[in-house]
Amino acid sequence: MPITEAPSPRVLDVRPMLRAGEEPFQAIMDAVGALAPGQTLRLIAPFRPVPLFSVMANRGFAASDRPLADGDWEVTFSPVAGMQETPESEDLAVGSSPSAVFWGDPVLELDLCGLEPPEPMVRILEALETLEPGDVLFALLAREPVFLFPELAKRRHEWAGNFDASGTDYRLLIRHGGGKGH
């Protein structure tokens, strides 16, 4: 049986995007989607992208990171055998709750599509402070709120989300879990 080499890592440097004020998350997810089986992604960023670690772990990638001499970071995301996302797993957001179908109707709805980060996250967290445990909030966003997910987890809230059929708006349900802000 011939030995096949793993493809060379794909390198994505998001520093120019961030300097230009652009959100690099979609470029990162596009790069992940374009990886060949077994291929790793080397990400270069001006900071250690901790929230991305759990997103990538839930998509079947292990992370190893190291600081660079100039203060920037290099993170290598390597696929974990047998842990790659299946088409069915794309229906709900990473870390989301499959029990969302039983939550009931939202008590509060927010349309945050016209706001730039971090304003949607701030408004969602502020709104959650006014809700009771078990209450459900619905938010419509212009992008997947990846930096919000760790904050929700810290506060013990559950969430489920996905893009609408057009792929332009992100729909997010959050059930108040009783946790208070940090």
Residue 2 lies in a domain: no
The tens digit of pLDDT for each residue in 138-180 reads 999 999 888 898 888 888 888 887 777 777 888 888 989 876 5
Instruction: Say whether pTM exceeds 0.85.
Output: no
The tens digit of pLDDT for each residue in 81-90 reads 644 443 333 4
Q: How many CA atoms lie within 13 A of 114 on its CB side?
A: 2
Q: How many CA atoms lie within 13 A of 59 on its CB side?
A: 19
Q: Cis bond leading into 118, ω under 30°?
A: yes
Using an 8 Å Cβ cutoff, are 51 and 23 in contact? no
Residue 70 lies in a domain: yes
Residue 180 lies in a domain: no
Residue 1 lies in a domain: no
Backbone angles phi, psi at 174, to 5 degrees: -130, 130
Please give the residue range of the domain that contains residue 65.
10-84
Token pair recorded at residue 172: 């997010």
Task: Mark which of 20, 53, 84 sits at the end of a domain.
Answer: 84
